């Protein structure tokens, strides 16, 4: 698996919201904010990992667009 599927990130965030509500007494609106922030953080991490892999892959391929751009600079 290259990146975490959105559904898995959503389930993780719902679980975190539940735990925050049960153990820390968060009201419903704070649970909702927690879920949204965790989904955004996981999605941002997925995109960063995907871009890093793509950059690494592009640098390994001979004659790639990334190599051409770096030689022009």
State the residue for tokens 């975490």.
4
pTM for this prediction: 0.69
What is the per-residue pLDDT for 60?
85
Give pLDDT tens digits for 27-59: 999 999 999 999 999 989 888 888 888 888 888
DSSP assignment string, the chain: --S--HHHHHHHHHHHHHHHHHHH---HHHHHHHHHHHHHHHHHHHHHHHHHHHHHHHHHSTT-HHHHHHHH-
Q: List pLDDT tens digits, range 2-19.
A: 777 888 888 999 999 999
| Separation CA 54–CA 6 (nearest Å) | 19
């Amino acid at each position: 698996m290259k990146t975490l599927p959105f559904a898995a990130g959503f389930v993780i965030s719902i679980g975190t919201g539940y735990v925050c509500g049960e153990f820390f007494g968060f009201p419903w609106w704070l649970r909702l904010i927690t879920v949204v922030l965790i989904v955004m953080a996981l999605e941002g991490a997925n995109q960063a990992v995907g871009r890093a892999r793509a950059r690494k892959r592009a640098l390994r391929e001979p004659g790639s667009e990334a190599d051409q751009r770096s030689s022009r600079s």
